[in-house]
Amino acid sequence: MGRYVIRRLLQAIPVALGATLLIFALVFALPGDPITALAGEKRMDPAVADALREQYHLNDPLLLQYWYYITGLLQGDLGTTFSRVPVSQLLVGKFQVTINLAFTALILEGVIGIGLGLWAALRKGKATDTAILAVTLLLISVPVLVTGFVLQLVLGVQLKKSLGIDFFPVAGAFEGWRSYLLPGFVLAGTSIAYLTRLTRTSLVETLRADYIRTATAKGLTRRRVIGRHALRNALIPLVTYLGADLGTLMGGAIITESIFNLNGIGQQLAQSVYLREGPVVVGIVTFLVMVYIVANLIVDLLYAVLDPRIRYE
Amino acid sequence: MSESTPMAPGTSDTLLNPAPPLPPSPGSRPGKAEKPASLWSDAWHDLRRRPLFIGSSIMIVILVVMAIFPSLFSSVDPTQATTCQLATARQPPSAMHWFGKDNLGCDTFARTIYGARVSIVVGITATIVTALVGGLLGLIAGFAGGGTDTLLSRVTEIFFAIPAILGALLILSVFDTGNMWTVTLALSVLAWPMIFRIMRAAVITTKSQDYVVAARALGAGKSRIMFRHILPNAVTPVIVISMINLGMFISAEAALSFLGVGIRSPEISWGVMIADARPRFLEAPSPLLFPAAFLSITVLAFIMLGDAVRDALDPKLR
């Protein structure tokens, strides 16, 4: 187990380096000169511009710039924006919004996905099962862009207009956890569908196992057979799926944040790309890549803990 | 499926699956009626009777015709600025203008029809590019193994770690202008590793099959083994995932155009229409809802097709 952990950690290093270098190269290739853009309409004194370029290492070759960035990153320095704000300071409040959103989505995904999957598996081949599968097909097919606006209109506005229920705020994060309900569901949509299908398949397979027949033959109640014996075993692949999904949800939050006007890292990223704030863009994407890599690592290790049948050397 | 012969490689007889013929089994007479059904003709036989397949195919045919000849569906040409009248902005749907008018007084129905082209072209092109690039590299990596495989696999891991929409946003912002081809490029760059992985896994499984070993023992060359023996038998999962990906590409194109880095006005795309209608969305929802509905139906059609084809090609999943 220890050797496996070390090997996995070592494998993650080239992936992290490669991904950040790729992002760095793309940001480097962005058209326009950020220093000229900084001055806006006015023309900047060439001496000042040169001094700034020197300060931000903009004249150095790509790999050297990347080297400066990575060494800074390892010392916990995400760099500074061209308007001299430390990137880490700029992102603190915004990470909170995105993390809240991603975890709301993850909880909704777990509850709804496993619930629907369980229901479908227990009614396999019946109308309920078919209906749930059709719902998952819809959830997979309808883009976030569409569910976001439609739910905003129906649950956020029409519900308030017609029934006077004002439960789902449609923009901003001013209402505490309620602000995240609607965007969280929209963000989780596709994942809910996949998790439902996975739960259904996993549980249907588990229910065929010999130990389930044994448990039933012992005279245990159906509730106990399903809850204690089947569900626990069927849950293993689902937990790992949920864990790996965290990175996907955080990376996919940009559209949801835009629709619901949540001031998270997705919004910041879109804005920084337009303003050519290289350090911010690289900082955000690096963070997301790290979340992805760490989440996958934890999931792989969790697998061994949850299922004692799996052994790593 | 019970009457089908085992899916041995040599039993196929379609163009899609040109594996070498096996000697006829004893007792079977040569002749058309005796030809065993191949995986593909079997799947086709099965598909023709699936309502899911028929329904999605009809929808896709309509959408493709719409993309090629939009003027068949709408008498108004929205690319002509003169068809927009600002005075009639945000008119609700009526008999004259089925989907109402948008914020600039343009006919939403005509724009929605003309928007199909971008989605279909981006979806199909990106699917073909990723299938070719990912498939070929996956075939090479799976077949060659060793250093080539390790190198290519590490490269795909790097791409997997980058969130798709963010990566596409970065790639697209490198270009000053956004159009169908830059969007296709960005999506292809990020999506080929997925096809690569599937192809590689299928090739590795196929490589150790007896008929490949036999072909090698008979002295077949490397490229012959790769393209005549392994590829036809490993390509099925790639085709299935590609069809589902097609829907995802269309969805991603709309998202990128919505964010302002994909297709840009005055070009018409459903994503652009949604972005344009957004500021006045709550008072005039129809300019947003109609392109959104078309977008959803298109993605749904392709995903349904992919589901149907997967079920037909992989009887084990049933």
Same domain, A86 and A98: no
Å between B300 CA and nearest CA of chain A: 5
Is A8 domain-assigned? yes
| Greatest CA separation for chain B | 80
Predicted local confidence at residue A36, as pLDDT: 66
* pLDDT value at B45 more than 90: no
Tell me the average pLDDT across A259-279. 83
Task: For residue B28, name the pLDDT band (cuts at 50, 70, 90).
Answer: very low
* Tokens 């959408």 belong to residue: B63
Residues pairing with A86 in the sheet: A80
The two tokens of residue B296 are 């959803």
Determine, yes or no, domain membership for B117: yes
Q: Convert the pLDDT of each residue in B246-281 to its tens digit.
A: 999 999 999 999 888 888 878 889 998 998 888 888
Residue owning tokens 């079920």: B311
| In a shared domain, residues A142 and A256 | yes
Tell me how long chain B is.
Answer: 318
Among A135-144, A294-303, B22-31, B169-178, whose mean pLDDT is lowest? B22-31
A44 and A75 both lie in a single domain: yes
Q: Taking CB atoms and an 8 Å limit, are B300 and A138 in contact across chains?
A: yes
Say which DSSP state B93 is in. Answer: P
CA distance A270 to A20: 18
Tell me: cis bond preceding B23? Omega within 30 of 0 counts. no
- Taking an 8 Å cut-off on Cβ atoms, the answer to whether A31 and B259 are in contact is no
* Chain B nearest C-alpha distance from A111 (Å): 25
B83 against A101, higher pLDDT: A101
Quick one: average pLDDT of A162-181? 73
In a domain, B24, yes or no: no
Q: Which amino acid is at B215?
A: A
Q: Are residues A61 and A146 located together in one domain of the fold?
A: no
Whether residues A25 and A168 fall in one domain: no
CB distance B300–A248 less than 8 Å? no
Range of the domain at B172: 65-76+95-317
Pair (A183, A61) in one structural domain: no
* Whole-number pLDDT of residue B312: 83
Residue A288 covered by a domain: no
Q: How many CA atoms lie within 13 A of A157 on its CB side?
A: 15
Contacts of B251 in chain A (CB under 8 A): 143-145
Q: From chain A, pick out residues whose CB is under 8 angstroms from the CB of B281.
A: 149, 153
What is residue B9's predicted lDDT score, i.e. its pLDDT? 41
Does B81 fall in a domain? no
User: Does A129 reside within a domain?
Assistant: yes
Tell whether A132 and A24 lie within a shared domain: no
Q: Do B295 and A23 touch (CB under 8 A)?
A: no
Token pair listed for A2 = 């220890």
Residue B165 lies in a domain: yes
At B252 the three-state DSSP class reads helix
B295, A140: Cβ pair inside 8 Å? no
Other CB atoms within a 10 A radius of the CB of residue A249 amount to 26
* Three-state DSSP string of chain A: CHHHHHHHHHHHHHHHHHHHHHHHHHHHHCCCCHHHHHHCCCCCCHHHHHHHHHHCCCCCCHHHHHHHHHHHHHCCCCCECCCCCEHHHHHHHHHHHHHHHHHHHHHHHHHHHHHHHHHHHHCCCCHHHHHHHHHHHHHHHCCHHHHHHHHHHHHHHHHHHHHCCCCCCCCCCCCCCHHHHHHHHHHHHHHHHHHHHHHHHHHHHHHCCHHHHHHHHCCCCHHHHHHHHHHHHHHHHHHHHHHHHHHHHHHHHHHHHHHCCCCCHHHHHHHHHHHCCHHHHHHHHHHHHHHHHHHHHHHHHHHHHHCCCCCCC
Question: Looking at the domain assignment, is residue A287 inside a domain?
Answer: no
Same domain for A141 and A22? no
Where do we find the tokens 């000697």? B23
- Tell me which residue range forms the domain holding A17: 2-90
State whether A108 and A224 are in the same domain.
Answer: yes
- In this complex, the residue of B161, B173, B274 whose CB is nearest that of residue A292 is B161
- CATH number of domain containing A254: 1.10.3720.10
Q: Which residues of B touch A153 (CB under 8 A)?
A: 281-282, 285, 289
Contacts of B210 (CB under 8 A, 6+ apart): none
Instruction: Specify the pLDDT at position A33.
Output: 66
Are B192 and B130 in contact by the 8 Å Cβ rule? The answer is yes
Cross-strand bridge partners of residue B107: B101
Total domains present in chain A: 2
pLDDT at A312: 60
> Taking Cα atoms as reference points, which of A35, A24, A39, A32 lies closest to residue A58?
A35
Q: Are residues A176 and A75 part of one domain? A: no
Looking at the predicted structure, is the pLDDT value of residue A232 above 90?
A: no
**Residues A123, A246: one domain?**
yes
> What residues of B are in contact with residue A247 (Cβ under 8 Å)?
163
Is the Cβ pair B171, A26 closer than 8 Å?
yes
Find the range with the poorest average confidence among A58-67, A208-217, B142-151: A58-67
pTM confidence score: 0.84
B150-201 per-position pLDDT tens digit: 899 888 988 888 888 888 888 888 877 778 899 999 999 999 999 999 999 9
**A184 versus B7: which is more confidently predicted?**
A184
Bridge partners of B101, per DSSP, are B107
CB neighbours (10 Å) of residue A205? 14
Q: How far is A140 from chain B (nearest CA, A)?
A: 8
* Yes or no, beta carbons of A14 and B154 under 8 Å apart: yes
**What H or E segment, with its residue span, contains residue B169?**
helix B164-174
Position B245 in a domain = yes
Average pLDDT, chain A: 82
Domain assignment of residue B4, yes or no: no
- The rounded distance, in Å, linking the Cα atoms of B32 and B242 is 33
Cβ–Cβ contact A281 with B under 8 A: yes
> Is residue A162 scored above 80 in pLDDT?
no
Closest CB to B174: pick one of A22, A26, A285. A26
Interchain contact, A254 vs B171, CB within 8 Å: no
> Any CB–CB contact under 8 A between A40 and chain B?
no
For A146, name the nearest residue in chain B, comparing CA atoms only.
Answer: B292
Nearest chain B residue (CA) to A142: B296
Nearest residue in A to B170, CA atom: A26
Structurally, chain B folds into a number of domains equal to 1
Count of helices and strands (H, E) across chain B: 12, 0
* Predicted local distance difference test score (pLDDT) of residue B35: 59
Cβ–Cβ gap B288/A149 under 8 Å = yes
Residues of chain B with Cβ-Cβ distance to A270 below 8 Å are 169, 259
Which of A63, A90, A117 terminates a domain? The answer is A90
Statement to judge: residues A257 and A177 lie in one domain: yes
CATH for B157: 1.10.3720.10
Asked if the structure places residue B311 within a domain, the reply is: yes
